[in-house]
Amino acid sequence: MPYESDDYLSRHFQISGIDLNSKVEELSNLAAPPDSPNLALYREMLTTVIRMAQADRNRWDAKIMLQTLREMEHAFSSLEQFKRRRKVTVFGSARTPRDHPLYALARDLGATLAKHDLMVVTGAGGGIMAAAHEGAGLENSLGFNITLPFEQGANATVQGTGNLLSFHFFFLRKLFFVKEADGLVLCPGGFGTLDEALEVLTLIQTGKSPLVPVVLLDQPGGTFWKSALEYIVEQLQGNGYILPSDMHLVSLVYSVEEAAEAIAQFYRNYHSSRWLKERFVIRLNHALSDQALQQLNSEFRDLCKSGDFQQQPYCESERDEPELCHLTRLAFAFNGRDHGRLRELLDLINQAQNWADSA
């Protein structure tokens, strides 16, 4: 079927005697494999660039668009080799000195995550970032550097390697911090660390980012995150700006063992999730027992817009991910609002006593 678009740009070029649709279709067919499920998306991308050219916007706008596309394509290409590995993004201050207890804690964290076959993603700088990479080693490290005229040189572990990506724009770097993360650990830090913590929680709370474990790590006896959480509970929750259940999106720990366990526990049964039209589908490593399913339908019915929770096998709608066809699905009409409650649901399905094969 030929590509069809009824947007303003297509009509303009048709009126002008230029058949934009056929040109876009010809170019996308030349560039992409003929059986690519993304052909329609590539056509829309090409049309967007042509729309920009037709409007001939100012040079700064054009440079922003070019830099954005280049950085994203380069990142996608570079990260393809690490596609099937679980990754944990670690945030913390670049100014933490080597002799600080938090530096040693972050180094131990990196080593512990690597033992669990988890890659450690950081901003590639010094302080907490350097410590986490130092502990994980190059094979288990990824660095997303930001090009700045001061302070942010890449650390020795990833400098000059294929495990280092440099970004011009902060917003793209932040996108990949979250996109690649199967878990996040935040150590004490400055404005940047607090910015990352609140942005990640906002993205998860609003459903703009998939649910992942968010762990706040402090040294034993430390009060950095404890005080921050007290403020959030008193001022944000106390004034009704967030739901009480939103506090389930984050956990506070005081050791690297607890941090690693929090991430491992999250994936004991939960594998991943996606939307299939109006249904939210959670992929499970272990099918749930009938009793557990009854408990979900009793205690978490508020998460369903309609109907109830149902277990189902792989379906044709997921044929783009055949490698996951063996996993059981838990499907329901999620209301898309209360992700803190959804996290409570995941905590329940991750308990081994609720699995059908636990007996």
**C-beta separation of 138 from 146 below 8 A:** no
Check whether residue 256 and residue 107 sit in a common domain: yes
Low-confidence spans in the chain with pLDDT less than 50? 1-4, 8-9, 11, 14-15, 17
Residues 243 and 298 in one domain: no
- Spacing of C-alpha 85 from chain mean position: 13
CB hemisphere CA count around 290 (13 angstroms):
0
Same domain, 27 and 121: no
Please list the residues that pair with 279 across neighbouring strands: 276
The contacts of residue 87 (CB under 8 Å, 6+ apart) are: 118, 119, 120, 121, 142, 180, 181, 182, 183
Residue 141 is predicted with a pLDDT of 97
Residue 163 falls inside a structural domain:
yes
306 and 230 co-located in one domain = no
Same domain? 175 vs 281:
no
Same domain, 89 and 220: yes
Segment (H or E) for 35: none
How many separate domains does the chain show?
3
Q: Write down the pLDDT at residue 119.
A: 97
Angle (nearest 5°) at CA 198 between 195 and 200:
100
Per-residue model confidence (pLDDT) at position 227: 98
Sheet holding 141-146, edge to edge: 164-167, 141-146, 119-122, 87-91, 183-186, 214-217, 250-253
Containing structural domain, residue 279: 270-354
pLDDT at 324: 81
- Tell me if 49 is assigned to some domain: yes
pLDDT given at position 15: 42
Residues 85/113, Cβ–Cβ less than 8 Å: no
Say if residue 287 is in the same domain as residue 251.
Answer: no
pLDDT in tens, 87-101: 999 999 999 999 999
Amino acid 3: pLDDT = 45
Q: Which of 30, 49, 79 is the last residue of a domain?
A: 79
Beta strands 279-284 and 328-332, pairing class: antiparallel
Domain boundary (215, 245, 266) is at: 266
Report d(CA 283, CA 292) in Å as an integer.
16
This prediction has a pTM of: 0.88
Residue 3: inside a domain = no
Could you tell me the two tokens for 90?
């670690």
pLDDT score, position 242: 96
CATH code, 158: 3.40.50.450
In this prediction, residue 140 carries a pLDDT of 97
pLDDT in the model for residue 152: 56
Regarding whether 318 and 297 lie in a shared domain, the answer is: yes
Element (H, E) at 88: strand 87-91
Distance CA 331, CA 276 (A): 9
The pLDDT score that the predictor gives to residue 230 is 98
